[in-house]
Amino acid sequence: MSAVPRSPARLTTRGRRRVTIAVGVMVVALVVSLVGIVGVVRSRPVPDDGQRSAVLSATTSAVTALMTFGPDLDRTGRDAVQTHLTGPLLADYRSRGPDVVLPGAVESGVTMSVRVVGAAVNAYADDQSQVLVFADQTIRVPGTGPPDGPGDDGENTERAPTARWATMRSVEGNWRLADLQPVGDVTR
């Protein structure tokens, strides 16, 4: 018995109509998606050079003020830091001081200094902006290292790069730091 060769499968008129409709629906969905994406990208405000410079300058000042402290930080110094803050971060700083940045800093007498080495605007609107901040921080913890000589308390100094997301809000025309969150490990 010999096998009868089969002819290739053919769609019926009904099947062709279904395939045509499915392709049409996919094309329409693709066009709608592209139009939506283009609309979102175009509607996102882009700061001009002056606006970008103002946000970045305020961010650099605020992050430096907040993350630079020591055991000698007095009420005047804390008040100066507060001029850079707003929202929940300001309320938290008022109650906890430098412990907002480094828990236990006040009790242990930690000294921290920060140098902002780069910043870039990630998102911008007239009233709020998100900035990626890269900084080098130096932390000195007294009494945690071996004494180097007479009178030395064995201070341990650590230097580390850090990256933070800074949320800036415009308050009466001035950019203030509303939130500061770690990005992750920038050494990898």
Q: What is the pLDDT of residue 127?
A: 93
What values do phi and psi take at 15, rounded to 5? -65, -40
CATH number of 53's domain? 3.10.450.50
Domain-embedded: residue 172: yes
Nearest to 110 by CA among 141, 78, 83, 88: 141
Query: CB-based contacts of 148: which residues, under 8 Å, 6+ apart?
Result: 154
Domain-embedded: residue 55: yes
106: left (phi over 0), alpha (psi -120 to 50) or beta: alpha
DSSP state, residue 71: T
Q: What is the pLDDT of residue 154?
A: 55
Domain-embedded: residue 11: no
pLDDT tens digits, the chain, 188 residues: what are they? 566 666 666 778 888 888 899 888 898 888 888 888 877 666 667 888 999 999 999 999 999 999 999 998 898 999 999 999 999 999 999 999 999 988 888 888 899 999 999 999 999 998 999 999 999 999 998 875 555 554 445 567 889 899 999 999 999 999 999 999 998 655 55
Beta bridge mates, 112: 69, 139
Q: What is the DSSP string of 32-59?
A: HHHHHHHHHHHHS----HHHHHHHHHHH
Count of other CB atoms within 10 angstroms of residue 132? 16
Domain-embedded: residue 7: no
Q: What angle do CA 85, 90, 91 make, to 5 degrees?
A: 170
Domain-embedded: residue 17: no
Domain-embedded: residue 157: yes
Domain-embedded: residue 13: no
Q: Identify the domain containing residue 149 by its residue range.
A: 48-182
Q: What is the pLDDT of residue 73?
A: 87
Domain-embedded: residue 101: yes
Residue keyed to tokens 């870039």:
120
What is the rounded CA–CA span in Å between residue 12 and residue 25? Answer: 20
End-to-end CA distance of the chain: 70
Element (H, E) at 137: strand 128-141
Please tell me the pTM assigned to this model.
Answer: 0.70
Residue keyed to tokens 């580390």:
160
Tally of structural domains, the chain: 1
Q: Which amino acid is at 97?
A: G
